[in-house]
Amino acid sequence: MTQNKGGIEVAKRLLRSRGILYNGCPESLNSIQQALISASDANPRINVHFEEIILSRDGPTTMTLMGAHGIVIGGNIAPGMNTLWIRNDSTENVNHICKSIVELASAGYPGCSGCVDDTEWSESEWRNTELYGLQ
């Protein structure tokens, strides 16, 4: 289950955000946008917009979130500890993130009681695991 925690945390951060500055893979962007549309259909309180989009196949995908710490998917250089880092940018990981977005929104997140764990995210603990991602 540890393998899925990073993807769930990405989904939680995206759902809590009001705006996203996106720089990265076009295919990942399309998948995440579709998941957020499905999430808003399932939970009308979800209102997340992409404020800026820069498409690039070079380097990791970065998302700067308004109202939450950022996210980096991929790359070999760890970002600062305030940024959630999913080391592997595989299609499988992005699909898991998208599935988590829809599942959490359908359960009423954010704002639901007991639909996800309420423990504080620890980026240092996450990075110290052997998995460094969702694989």
Domain ranges of the chain: 2-119
Per-residue pLDDT tens listing for the chain (135 residues)? 344 788 999 999 999 998 999 999 999 999 999 999 999 999 988 989 999 999 999 999 999 998 778 999 998 888 999 999 998 888 899 999 999 999 999 998 887 766 666 677 777 787 777 454 443
Here the tokens at position 53 are 């989009």
- Decide if 127 contacts 80 (C-beta within 8 A): no
Q: Please state the pTM of the whole predicted model.
A: 0.85
Within 13 A of 84's CA, how many CA atoms are on the CB side?
Answer: 25
Round to whole Å and give the CA distance between 84 and 74: 11
Rounded to the nearest 5 percent, the helix, strand and coil shares of the chain are 40, 20, 40
